[in-house]
Structure 1
Amino acid sequence: MRSATRTELHRETIALFASGVLWAVPPLFFVKGGINEILVIWSVLSSLAAAAALVLTVAPLGTMLFIAVLGAALSAMAFNLGLTMLASANIVFTMMLAGMAFLSGKRFIDSMVSDQALTEKKEVVSLLLREFEDTGADWLWQTDAARCLTHVSPRFASALGVELAELEGKQLLRILAGESWEAGNFASGLRELAEKLKRRESFADLILPVKIAGATRWWELSASPRFDDRGAFLGFRGVGSDVTAQRDSADKINRLARYDTLTGLPNRMMINETLARAMQHAEQWRSQCGFMMIDLDRFKAVNDTLGHPIGDRLLSRVAERLRQLMTENELCGRLGGDEFAVVLLDVRDQSRVDALAHAVIEALTRPYEVDQHTLYIGASVGSAIGPRDGRTAEMLIRSADLALYRSKDAGGGKHNCYEPQLHANAEERRTLEIALRSALEKGEFHLVYQPVVSADDSAIEGFETLLRWTHPEMGVIPPYKFITVAEDARLIAPIGEWVLRTACEEAVNWPSTVRVAVNVSAEQLSDPNFVTAVISALSHSGLPPHRLELEVTESVFLREGTGAIAILDQILGLGVRLALDDFGTGYSSLGYLRKTQFSTIKIDRSFVQGAAKKSAESLAIIRAVVAMADSLGMTTTAEGAETEEEFEMIRELGCTKVQGYLFGKPMVAEEARKLMVRAQQRRAAA
């Protein structure tokens, strides 16, 4: 059906109007008054008007004009003949016919508009479908009630790599199953599709693998069932697309989210997920799982001295060695930095954990060859068994971390299992740390001084400054407990600065021949502002630099890359003296004497006690240290003299100075001043 143009409608309207005018001529000019003649004319023209109202709906305006002209002619005829009632009735009849013509025309026009809109929609849908098939990445597919393909889309056939004729009438499931159809080894996605088709249910975004030319592709299908007007099932119609690229991209993103990019090992997220599943399995089957934390020893020195690229390559080598130790029962991953972890899915007994831990330590301690560098590191291990040492993954990780901390605290290269006491120790450390943060402000610290005397005449040559802490609730807390906590919590710098300043302010009141010694930790020497703190303490107190002696231990030199040696050289440049404390208790002690210019070597009390018991080894060590110090122009201080016999032995061995309870326990500043006054009085009396 063709739609009329505007010109054609106008022409039709004029034609109807003209036709109405022609038909109006007879009643106006040729009727003389005969009743038969009037009835014939009225019947004919009324029938024409009624027929026009019913038939000529295509041009409603022309039809209404045609009816109006005929009605006006008939009414005029009746009025001229004196038939008023007939004229009035004709007017009403004409209006009814005109209204009928208007409604019929309106319905016709509405129907035409609806048909045209529907036609346009069908054309648009057809156009879109053609464009979809030609250029889209997806394809259409349709089956009949027997699940066989009908009206196969060219793109569907192209995606399968076959001709259209090969697909028409073939079962959809068989086509998608490929070679696995005969074996019956279907993928889960294909089984789900079969269930949906069987139950005649709509489905969307169903993903399943499809074997095409020997390669596995991933398809995404969506479809809805089709029914006829009587509700009979006709089949399915849907859309499909190849999502292999998107799936590969998602797999890659998932791998990046769960694997460490440097080592290729599982990262913290995957370790946590695996441990959570292992804990759930252990709870369900009343078995045990394990978690092991590994921290590399001396790795920071590699980064600081050789740079991070070498450190990264070293971490890759560490990962390779760890991977070789793992079985199907273990998952090894990297937590970050130089920390690794192992999840043991099933732990029958503690011996497996111990064996694996020692194997890890042994493997990681062997030397590494990285870019022509021979590198030596080690490993410390802490382990925990779940659910015994933790009911959740987070608690088990915390327990293993506490065990690792114990291994590191013991010097590294060791494996420790979690014990309940470790949690109590950690809680104690946490409590101490909280109290330490306000102890300095509250004035809870005070200093005590232990005398150091000459081995020749027992004259006081100096005092070693010792820090004490008295908490209002916990009482006196020994230094071995809170010093390490202060170092770990980065509180040692302000505390050490207060000790240095207070000791200098006290020592300036002593005789000019008496020195004050202050212990300095490795953490303080890693602070670039430490030299400024020393200068500030000397300048504010007025103490001459040569009367201040800083005591350091060998642990300072174990932290390569911290700049400690450079800071010690700056301190020597100020005129401050340096003493090496606890000499002989560390590693390669003789090598440390070449790193900086010490004025004093302090021999540890363990050697003094050993010599007092006539230990040949202790006696030989003391003699060797004294001889070496004399040759280097250094003095020696023997610690731990408690009896006259020990003092005499120390003198015979050639030590320069002596320190111990024999000459005074650590005392407050007032008692130290009284001790010096009494010593001066004895010397004056002599």
Structure 2
Amino acid sequence: MSIYRSESQTHPADLPLRLLLGFGGRIDANWGRFRSQQVAHLVQAAFGRSLLHLAASLAIVAMFADILPAWALLGWMAAVLAAIYVNFRTDRCLADLERHPVGKRDFQHHLIFSALLAALWAVPMAIFTQFAPTEEAFAVWGVLALLMTGAALWQAPVPLGAILFIGITGGSVMLALGQRGEYLMVAIVAIFILVAVAGTINGARNYLMACIAEEGVAEKNEVVSLLLREFEESEADWLWQTDSLRRVRSVSPRFAYALGQDADAVEGSPFLKLIAGSSWETGQFQPSLHDLAERMKRQESFSNIIVRVDIGGQQKWWELSGTPKLDDTGKFIGFRGVGSDVTEQRESSDKIAYLARYDTLTGLPNRMMLMEALGDAMKYADQWKSRCAFMMIDLDRFKQINDSLGHQIGDRLLAQVAERLKSVISSNELCGRLGGDEFAIVVRDASDKVRVDGVAQSVITLLSQPYEVDNHTLYVGSSVGSATGPRDGVTVETLMRNADLALYRAKDAGRGCHVAFEHSLHQDAEERRKLELSLRHALERNELSLNYQPVVDAQSEDVVSFEALLRWISPEHGSISPAKFIPLAEETRLIVPIGEWVLREACKEAMRWPDHIKVAVNVSGEQLLGSHFASTVVSALSSSGLDPRRLEIEVTESIFLRDDVMARATLEEIIALGCSIALDDFGTGYSSLGYLRKLRFSTIKVDRSFVQGAAKGNVECLAIIRAVVAMASSLDMSTTAEGVENGLEAQLIRELGCKKIQGYHFGRPMAAEDVQCLFPIRAADCSLA
């Protein structure tokens, strides 16, 4: 509904003040245009306002020429002229905004410059008159009153700017006259300000209501023009008629134009020949054209049938209606009807239908079409007592490419993946995209189990080959899960769900493999669901606890720190491995509250240890990339009283792949607190020396796989450990070797140069009470106990 309709019965005084001043929302979608007209009105008065301010500034200079130093007057006048010029330029820049909505920034600029100009005009009254007699103050008041009146008249369409100018300048007059004891004049000035403000508001209201009325008239004119144009364009329909032999007669100019020929040339030609094109000679009509021919042959009426025609070698769509004509004796003498070209509408409809069933990025069938195809395949399998299959495909490592190189590269990669999938399938399969990096294949006849596994293996092999995208060589893999109907499900939803469960197992199994659905997967899924439900209540039920594993100095074998390790003992599930419940916590984002609890408990427990013993806490990417992680660390330290230098945060390289900038910023905040940062599992993931260069890690932890490999004499593992130790030493970082399980491994690690050692050889993860017994004072307490 337009604004003039909603306000047509509204008196100007009823227009809300907040809308007049520019504070309020909008009446409807046209309000932005009225805002533009308000601001653009300033352009019309910009030159006159500038001349008025120039004349007033000259008058002020003339008044105080014999009273104030020339430099003061000229400096003030230069500032006024500069403000006038900037204000003039700003208003002129709004000349093109009449047709475009005005944003808050345009109003803000106008208000700022109005306030600035008012502040400059407050100077003569507030400062200059301090050095002049009262008569000069009254003269300055006269000049300012002239400017305030001009603002009320010329700036009324944008009242807030005018009110600011009037208020600031009027306020300076009242203040100056009050200091001189002219209280009567102060009251007069106050009344003048109120009258000027009221006049400004009334002028703004009248201006806006005039704009609203003008908009109403314009919209009414537009509606009338639209109706007239629609009436004229309706003549795009044409009349056609034939004789009893179906030859066109009385050809209208518009019908001849639609045929692309002269009216005389088509007179008497067979109607079907004119629209059939090349198919007239063969008699192989399109189905729609064949239907038209049959109706005309049977002398039946037809209405609004869509016919595909061939006009001059171009395929078009016509909408035709026709009625048989009879003479006075009831004898059939031909057809008469109307027609119109609906090619554009038909193409638009076809395009919409295509977009509804196909993925625009890859050109593959989308989820809806895949579900329809799977439904048809299940009906076919039920009818012929065969089998069908549904395969879900998930790309491995695609998210890392999307995050690191951007979505445009990711989209081009998906397009190449789609082309490769098309090359794998045969007429027995339909490939489509479910969304994101998930694809699917519907196998219509899956009676041959080998065929399904063969397609899956072909997909895995083909998609693992390198891709070239914008000079980037990219590698992604794929995991495939499949379900066979009707064995694994008798409905589309069930079969898709079971294929998804199989895909989940394939990803858990290490990715790059195919897993067929088994009924045990349902049990696993149900177990996982129950485990998740129990995990959600683990904190409030006090089922979580921390164990601490010592880290010792490689040379002295004295304990230097403990790593806090999370443990969960559930009444329903018993003792659950961290390898099982921590990934679940990360996937469900329960790791955030659990991680906060771990941090608080670890800091609290560390306060019971000697002051030189540190505590290390592992932090998940879900925690670190949260917006409040740094404040969580501060809260844990302050509530426990732990020295920040005794807290070490352990992170893995994977967090940098998710959001490198945010991860670095958060870690820098943690370092600024005084905490140290350890890089865990270095060398096992996407190791990059760039992380070590950009962040001041205190410790690099060598993964246990390298330690075990080095103990077995593996040359590569020995070289890697030496390289990490040398690099860490040059960067003034410490190294910790994980997984040291015997004295021979410990001696080897010492020889390789690692500064700290962690492993079962020096201590298994232990409860907090056992940790306290390791220290002399606490050990005495333990012996007494």
Q: TM-score, normalised by structure 2?
A: 0.61
**Which one is further off, 649-658 or 181-190?**
649-658
Alpha-carbon distance in 2 for matches of 1:480, 1:401:
22
2:462 aligned to 360, 366, 376, which one?
360
Higher alpha-carbon Rg: 1
How far off its partner does 1:617 sit? 5.3
Alpha-carbon distance in 1 for matches of 2:712, 2:414:
48
Equivalent AA in structure 2 for residue 454 of structure 1: D
Partner of 1:116: none
Alpha-carbon distance in 2 for matches of 1:410, 1:570:
37
**Which one is further off, 496-505 or 292-301?**
292-301
Alpha-carbon distance in 2 for matches of 1:522, 1:345:
42
Q: Does 1:472 align with 2:571?
A: yes
Equivalent AA in structure 2 for residue 362 of structure 1: S
Could you tell me whether the CA contact under 8 Å between 1:583 and 1:589 is conserved in 2? no
| Cα deviations by residue, 1:6-28 (Å, 9 ceiling, x for unpaired) | xxxxxxxxxxxxxxxxxxxxxxx
Structure 2 counterparts to residues 438-477 of structure 1, below 5 A: 438-477=537-576
Alpha-carbon distance in 1 for matches of 2:625, 2:430:
37
2:357 aligned to 251, 258, 261, which one?
258
**Which one is further off, 248-257 or 651-660?**
651-660
Structure 2 counterparts to residues 95-110 of structure 1, below 5 A: none
Q: Does 1:180 align with 2:282?
A: no
Could you tell me whether the CA contact under 8 Å between 1:623 and 1:654 is conserved in 2? yes
How far off its partner does 1:648 sit? 5.1
Partner of 1:381: 479
How far off its partner does 1:660 sit? 3.2
1:386–1:141 CA distance, 2 compared to 1 (3 A): farther
Q: What RMSD, in angstroms, separates the aligned Cα atoms of the two structures?
A: 3.9
| Cα deviations by residue, 1:630-685 (Å, 9 ceiling, x for unpaired) | 45444433333444555555555554333334444323222322333577659x9x
Could you tell me whether the CA contact under 8 Å between 2:359 and 2:366 is conserved in 1? yes
Q: Does 1:419 align with 2:520?
A: no
Gaps of 5+ in 2: 1-230
Alpha-carbon distance in 2 for matches of 1:418, 1:312:
29
1:350 aligned to 441, 452, 468, which one?
452
1:672–1:244 CA distance, 2 compared to 1 (3 A): same
SS of residue paired to 1:675: coil
Q: Does 1:243 align with 2:345?
A: no
SS of residue paired to 2:464: helix
Alpha-carbon distance in 2 for matches of 1:680, 1:646:
29
| Cα deviations by residue, 1:444-500 (Å, 9 ceiling, x for unpaired) | 322222233334444332221111223332222221111111111122112111110
1:528 aligned to 614, 617, 627, which one?
627
Alpha-carbon distance in 1 for matches of 2:429, 2:749:
57
Partner of 1:666: 765
Partner of 1:555: 654
Identity of paired residues, percent? Answer: 58
Could you tell me whether the CA contact under 8 Å between 2:417 and 2:463 is conserved in 1? no
Q: Does 1:516 align with 2:615?
A: yes
Alpha-carbon distance in 1 for matches of 2:375, 2:701:
52
Could you tell me whether the CA contact under 8 Å between 1:297 and 1:377 is conserved in 2? no
How far off its partner does 1:268 sit? 3.6
SS of residue paired to 2:775: helix
Could you tell me whether the CA contact under 8 Å between 2:457 and 2:514 is conserved in 1? no
How far off its partner does 1:152 sit? 5.5
| Cα deviations by residue, 1:505-535 (Å, 9 ceiling, x for unpaired) | 1111221122111111222222232112111
Could you tell me whether the CA contact under 8 Å between 2:467 and 2:474 is conserved in 1? yes
Could you tell me whether the CA contact under 8 Å between 2:413 and 2:467 is conserved in 1? no
How far off its partner does 1:402 sit? 3.9
Alpha-carbon distance in 2 for matches of 1:134, 1:552:
69
Could you tell me whether the CA contact under 8 Å between 2:366 and 2:434 is conserved in 1? yes
Alpha-carbon distance in 1 for matches of 2:313, 2:560:
90
SS of residue paired to 2:611: coil
SS of residue paired to 2:572: coil
Alpha-carbon distance in 2 for matches of 1:679, 1:605:
31
Could you tell me whether the CA contact under 8 Å between 2:772 and 2:778 is conserved in 1? no
SS of residue paired to 2:773: helix
2:584 aligned to 478, 481, 485, which one?
485
Alpha-carbon distance in 2 for matches of 1:343, 1:134:
48
Structure 2 counterparts to residues 78-157 of structure 1, below 5 A: 136-142=235-241, 155-157=254-256
Alpha-carbon distance in 2 for matches of 1:170, 1:382:
62
How far off its partner does 1:426 sit? 3.5
How far off its partner does 1:284 sit? 4.0
How far off its partner does 1:437 sit? 2.7
1:153–1:517 CA distance, 2 compared to 1 (3 A): same
Q: TM-score, normalised by structure 1?
A: 0.69
How far off its partner does 1:173 sit? 4.4
Equivalent AA in structure 2 for residue 366 of structure 1: Y
1:209 aligned to 302, 308, 311, which one?
308
Alpha-carbon distance in 2 for matches of 1:164, 1:457:
109
1:408–1:560 CA distance, 2 compared to 1 (3 A): farther
Equivalent AA in structure 2 for residue 443 of structure 1: N
Alpha-carbon distance in 2 for matches of 1:640, 1:179:
81
Aligned length: 549
**Which one is further off, 532-541 or 551-560?**
551-560
Partner of 1:88: none
How far off its partner does 1:548 sit? 0.9
Could you tell me whether the CA contact under 8 Å between 1:218 and 1:242 is conserved in 2? yes
Partner of 1:603: 702
Equivalent AA in structure 1 for residue 456 of structure 2: D
1:148–1:521 CA distance, 2 compared to 1 (3 A): same
Alpha-carbon distance in 1 for matches of 2:655, 2:528:
23
Q: Does 1:542 align with 2:641?
A: yes
| Cα deviations by residue, 1:12-46 (Å, 9 ceiling, x for unpaired) | xxxxxxxxxxxxxxxxxxxxxxxxxxxxxxxxxxx
Equivalent AA in structure 1 for residue 467 of structure 2: R
Partner of 1:495: 594
Gaps of 5+ in 1: 1-131
How far off its partner does 1:218 sit? 1.6
Could you tell me whether the CA contact under 8 Å between 2:453 and 2:514 is conserved in 1? no
Could you tell me whether the CA contact under 8 Å between 2:420 and 2:463 is conserved in 1? no
| Cα deviations by residue, 1:410-463 (Å, 9 ceiling, x for unpaired) | 665x23233324444333333333333333233332222223333444433222
Alpha-carbon distance in 2 for matches of 1:376, 1:237:
65
How far off its partner does 1:616 sit? 5.6
Could you tell me whether the CA contact under 8 Å between 2:644 and 2:675 is conserved in 1? yes
How far off its partner does 1:283 sit? 4.3
**Which one is further off, 625-634 or 224-233?**
224-233
How far off its partner does 1:183 sit? 1.8
Equivalent AA in structure 1 for residue 696 of structure 2: Q
Equivalent AA in structure 2 for residue 666 of structure 1: P
Alpha-carbon distance in 2 for matches of 1:170, 1:678:
115
